[in-house]
């Protein structure tokens, strides 16, 4: 009985220790006009150039109503993405971006092969049939990443406290992706960040009444 009690106390101490070490980061991202930015990508990388440990996953980017859903998808290096066509027309998804150049020729339904993303960086997606279809796969080499919602907020949880480089990217970012050092303390961390975006944004939407049946 005594041994059992001692073990229980020991277990509780270990568990409390682990919980208090975990950190999370809440961020709110806006632009220079104080407009909250949706689809801002934030991720943490090591300060010493080392790669943090992360896992690969199979991810999905749909095509729905002639749009990529999600428009911005974050994946880890080496992950594979399926591009199911949920419309009853054909799409022809491609990218000419340096980290991943690929093409899924005219197809309906779910392509049989997943596309692997072996290098970090931003991969711009397009469709050969529908010019306005624009999407991005942001390939990162870290387990700590998140994307902002409509109100500009995001959260990264389960971070090991320490010093990191915080990286910012957005589809309408003006200039190069931004990064700066950040110290993540155990518990809750929060920040507010303003990114400079291009002011003239051409809306890319499906034109109405010109469906030629593709
Ligand atoms: Cu298309």
Residue 112 C-alpha to ligand 1 middle, in angstroms? 17
Residue 25 C-alpha to ligand 1 middle, in angstroms? 37
Residue 68 C-alpha to ligand 1 middle, in angstroms? 9
Residue 203 C-alpha to ligand 1 middle, in angstroms? 17
Residue 135 C-alpha to ligand 1 middle, in angstroms? 11
pLDDT tens-place string over residues 50-92: 889 999 999 999 999 999 999 999 999 999 999 999 999 999 9
Residue 113 C-alpha to ligand 1 middle, in angstroms? 18
Question: What is the C-alpha to C-alpha distance for residues 13 and 35, in angstroms, rounded to an integer?
Answer: 45
Residue 145 C-alpha to ligand 1 middle, in angstroms? 28
Residue 141 C-alpha to ligand 1 middle, in angstroms? 29
User: What is the residue-averaged pLDDT of the chain?
Assistant: 89
Residue ranges of the chain assigned to CATH 2.60.40.1120: 23-50+143-200
Question: What is the C-alpha to C-alpha distance for residues 19 and 3, in angstroms, rounded to an integer?
Answer: 25
Residue 2 DSSP symbol? H
What is the pTM for the complete model shown?
Answer: 0.85
Top CATH class, 23-50+143-200: mainly beta
State the pLDDT confidence band at 199, using cuts at 50, 70 and 90: confident
DSSP string, 12-34: HHHHHHHHHH-EEEEEEEEETTS
Residue ranges of the chain assigned to CATH 2.60.40.420: 55-140
pLDDT tens-place string over residues 39-51: 999 999 999 888 8
pLDDT tens-place string over residues 83-127: 999 999 999 999 999 999 999 999 999 998 999 999 999 999 999
Provide the CATH topology of domain 55-140: Immunoglobulin-like (2.60.40)
């Amino acid at each position: 009985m005594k041994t059992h009690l001692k073990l229980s106390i020991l277990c509780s101490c270990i568990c409390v220790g682990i919980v208090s070490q975990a950190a999370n980061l809440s961020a709110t991202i806006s632009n220079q006009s104080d407009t909250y930015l949706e689809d801002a990508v934030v991720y943490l990388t090591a300060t010493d150039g080392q790669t943090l440990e992360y896992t690969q996953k199979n991810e999905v980017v749909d095509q729905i109503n002639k749009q990529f859903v999600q428009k911005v998808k974050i994946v880890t290096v080496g992950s594979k993405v399926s591009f199911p066509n949920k419309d009853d027309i054909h799409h022809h998804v491609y990218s000419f971006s340096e980290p991943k150049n690929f093409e899924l020729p005219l197809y309906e339904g779910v392509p049989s092969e997943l596309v692997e993303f072996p290098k970090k960086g931003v991969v711009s997606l397009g469709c050969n049939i529908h010019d306005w279809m624009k999407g991005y796969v942001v390939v990162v080499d870290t387990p700590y990443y998140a994307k902002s919602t409509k109100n500009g907020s995001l959260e990264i949880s389960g971070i090991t406290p320490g010093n990191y480089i915080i990286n910012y990217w957005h589809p309408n970012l003006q200039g190069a992706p931004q990064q700066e050092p950040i110290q993540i303390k155990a518990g809750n961390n929060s920040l507010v960040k303003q990114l400079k975006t291009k002011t003239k944004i051409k809306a890319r939407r499906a034109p109405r009444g010109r469906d030629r049946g593709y």
